Amino acid sequence: MLLKIAVPHLKSEEVFDLTMLTAFLVARTFLSIYVSTVQGRIVKSMIKMDWNLFISRIINLGLCAVPASFVNSALDYFNKRLAISFRRRLTLHFHDRYLKNMTYYQVTRRDEGCILT
């Protein structure tokens, strides 16, 4: 029941947010695997005492940090956006359902959300 309220149809913005959140979670999984591989190579170059290889692999790790930070920020953004959207839809539903005949708690719906009067 709550899922039908939070995600009313397949063309809603919540479905887009869920899709993007899933895509960025998959991307973070692959980036995490890649970062751990690079870190293992860095340790191998330290054990071999090959400092040129060590420096190049540190640079590679630094370059990998740029997309990783973007993916983590996008995950946080879509997670918060989805939470706000779910709260908004659930709040409007319960206001419409339970406060319909109460004049003291009358709700005026506008495009920006709801305004209590």
Cβ contact 18:103 at 8 Å = no
In a domain? residue 96:
no
User: 1-15 burial, b for 16+ CB within 10 Å, e for fewer?
Assistant: eeeeebbeeeeeebe
In a domain? residue 105:
no
pTM above 0.75, yes or no: no
Give the pLDDT confidence of 22-58 residue by residue, as tens digits.
999 999 999 999 999 999 999 999 999 999 999 999 9
In a domain? residue 102:
no
Beta bridge partners of 60: none
* Lookup result for tokens 């149809």: 9
Cβ contact 53:103 at 8 Å = no
* Alpha carbon distance 100, 96 (integer Å): 6
In a domain? residue 2:
no
Residue 6 φ/ψ, nearest 5 degrees: -70, -35
In a domain? residue 91:
no
- The type of residue at 67 is P
Boundaries of domain holding 72: 12-86
Residue 107 φ/ψ, nearest 5 degrees: -115, 130
In a domain? residue 22:
yes
In a domain? residue 81:
yes
In a domain? residue 97:
no
Give the pLDDT confidence of 72-107 residue by residue, as tens digits.
999 999 999 999 998 888 888 887 777 776 655 555
Domain count, the chain: 1
Higher-confidence residue of 115 and 71: namely: 71
